[in-house]
Amino acid sequence: MENSIESTEEQTGSLSSAGAMNRNPAFDYIVVGGGSAGAVLASRLSEDASRRVLLVEAGKSYPPHAYPDAVRLQTVIGGNPDHDWGFVSEPGWSGKSFPAPRGKVLGGSSAVNAGVWMRAPAADFERWTEAGLPHWSISDVLPSFRASERTASGSDQCHGRFGPEPIHQLQEDEISDMQRAFIASAEIAGFARVTDFNGEVPFGVGPYPMNNRAGQRLNTGMTYLSDAVRARPNLTIRSETLVDRVEVENGRAVAIILAGNERISGSEIVLSAGAYGSPAILLRSGIGPAAELEALNIPVVANLPVGQRLQEHPFFFTVWAAHADRLGLPIPPVGAILWARSSKGGSKDGDLHVSAVHYGDPADSPTGAIFMLALAVTRPRSTGTLKLRDPNPETAPIIDLNILGEAEDRALMVEGIQMIRNIASQGPLADIIAQELVPGAAIVDPADLEAALPTALDIYHHPASTAPMGGDDDANAVTDYQGRVRGVANLRVADASIFPDVPSVATNPTVVMLAERISQWIKG
């Protein structure tokens, strides 16, 4: 079978009415969402030619080598209306609502992100296992990280050489003058130089590892769903297809119901629609807090805390006017990072990121030259919620991120600004800087800095933990350690929704690893 979108949609249509009561399901595996996790799952599960796999994606699909510039180019990050869900958060502590871009295209948010490839560190997984989650230690997950990547650098112990994701560790001659100056000044300030952020010791400063090539972002729709994979006769890809809910009969998931009420049956259903999409599908399926569901007249299938532990990294842009003759070319836009431990973090936790980036409008600078040192709190204490507005799958959910809702997070952000100022005051970076624009050098007192945070506050676009994994005695858990939904057989979630808490780094590589790991459990 030629695996074009047209032919796969025709095939799916011919099978979707089969399998009443699941006596003869149309597919062995149905994967909902073709993003960072779903593309991985579809690729790995369809390696077994005897298994029929359906991948359903709400967004558009493109051939691996024919994505449009809005998706393909590294310089274009998120927010393109043709490939984005258009989510917006509720106002929180800052009084601001935040656009919450999520990729709506085959490849998902891996198709609209910054292309950074930094794994969650060992300390994140240690925290999970200490909380009672088995089989998620760094030694457990490292083989799946290695299986995903193809990189020429680093040690064989830490890195894969033959995976689908080409990873390139940037070198200093590949980043901008400003980014090199940032690294040098951070070293002068006492931070260690890191040459491999995916090695054994990731904390310190250095150029980013990236999954891009020649300025092109390499999303999972390209890397895991190659032409050869898409041509597999047992893999059906159905794009521009919105899933409403999962049908559950006698405690077992048996089918998905599309917007428009089309039914497609499957022996096992995996939700990989992202930290906003997957919980929304669960809720529409009657899986979630009973009181919320009853208020929307949704019959309760399983009373579980879906959407009750939403986490996201808060982000703040310190903005700097540069001497125009010293800044150099603003390429690449993303090139260097400091991963630091705050005074409040543990000895193993890197809870602050500073990214040296060429964003901002030069017209906003009195010198006509501008750059940003973007600060993230990567171990936030604040948690938010995701709820349904109504049962309509076309309606965006209510996303309450509660960014900086906890005073401890605000204190970490203030400490991070002070750390950035220390770095910017010395070495070659100080020679580039003409003045601090945001928050402004006159704002010094910690209370005043906290009050100024809303002026340039944003989010890092790493939502997680809306259907978290946990042990049998964990009242906050929605899924078990393999992503299986509690109380509902044949239904899993496999994406950032199931992280017990948000990893202390950009989430995409860890989501890919998670999908690699869960695909092996599904295959047995």
Catalytic positions, written as ranges: 462
Nearest CA to 48 out of 229, 185, 271 is that of 229
Give Cβ neighbours of residue 507 (< 8 Å, ≥ 6 apart): 120, 462, 464, 496, 499
C-alpha span between 485 and 502 (Å, rounded): 19
C-alpha span between 265 and 24 (Å, rounded): 8
Angle at CA of residue 465, ends 460 and 471, nearest 5°: 150
460 is in an annotated binding site: yes
C-alpha span between 397 and 478 (Å, rounded): 18
Q: What's 210's DSSP letter?
A: E
The per-residue DSSP string of 155-173 comes to -TTT--SSSSEEEEE--GG
Q: Which two tokens stand for residue 359?
A: 């964003």
C-alpha span between 140 and 514 (Å, rounded): 11
> In this structure, how many other beta carbons lie within 10 angstroms of the beta carbon of residue 398?
14
The per-residue DSSP string of 6-70 comes to HHHHHHHHHHTT--GGGSS-SEEEEEE--STTHHHHHHHHTTSTTS-EEEE-SSB---TT---HH
Query: Based on the number of CB atoms within 10 Å of its own CB, is 295 exposed (0-12), middle (13-18) or buried (19 or more)?
Result: exposed
3-state secondary structure 379-447: CCCCCEEEECCCCCCCCCCEEECCCCCCHHHHHHHHHHHHHHHHHHCCHHHHHHEEEEEECCCCCCCHH
243 is in an annotated binding site: yes
Residue with tokens 């990567």, as numbered in its chain = 378
113 is in an annotated binding site: yes
In the chain, how many H helices and how many E strands? 15, 23
3-state DSSP assignment of residue 495: coil
Q: Which two tokens stand for residue 432?
A: 């580039």
Report whether 290 contacts 300 (CB < 8 A): yes
Report whether 299 contacts 286 (CB < 8 A): yes
* Alpha carbon distances (Å) from 279 to 273, 285, 444: 8, 10, 42
* Kind and range of the H or E run holding 280: helix 274-284
C-alpha span between 154 and 112 (Å, rounded): 27
3-state DSSP assignment of residue 212: strand
Annotated binding site: 105, 113-116, 243, 460
Annotated binding site for substrate: 460
Annotated binding site for FAD: 105, 113-116, 243
